[in-house]
Amino acid sequence: MMSNSVVVQQVVKQLDRLPFGFQRMVLDFAQALVMSLPRGVPGKQLLRFAGTIELNDIQTMKQAIEAECERVDVDEW
């Protein structure tokens, strides 16, 4: 099994053999892969916050979302 550093070295070695346009494509692909990684914390770590928002506040937030977030302003752009 290859280690992380060996893989990186092999990728760099292969990149050196590619023309610039292909190198750019590899960079774009690598950046897209990084962006697709999950971010944040696992939900399990957030369980300690369960039940900390008052029911009245939740109702207020729900009403605001339904009233404002589900409308489309065609003149916005």
Is 69 a domain residue? no
Number of domains in the chain: 1
pTM of the entire structure? 0.51
Distance in angstroms (rounded) separating the CA atoms of residues 9 and 57: 53
Distance in angstroms (rounded) separating the CA atoms of residues 64 and 70: 10
Residue 22 pLDDT:
97
Query: What are the pLDDT digits (tens) for 16-71?
Result: 999 999 999 999 999 999 999 988 999 899 999 999 999 999 999 999 888 877 67
Is 25 a domain residue? yes
28 is in which domain, residue-wise? 4-36
Residue 15 pLDDT:
96
Is 22 a domain residue? yes
Residue 62 pLDDT:
92
Residue 56 pLDDT:
95
Q: Which residues contact 15 (CB under 8 A, 6 or more apart)?
A: 23, 26
- Assign 72 a pLDDT band (cuts: 50, 70, 90): confident
Contact 15, 23 (CB under 8 A): yes
Is 62 a domain residue? no
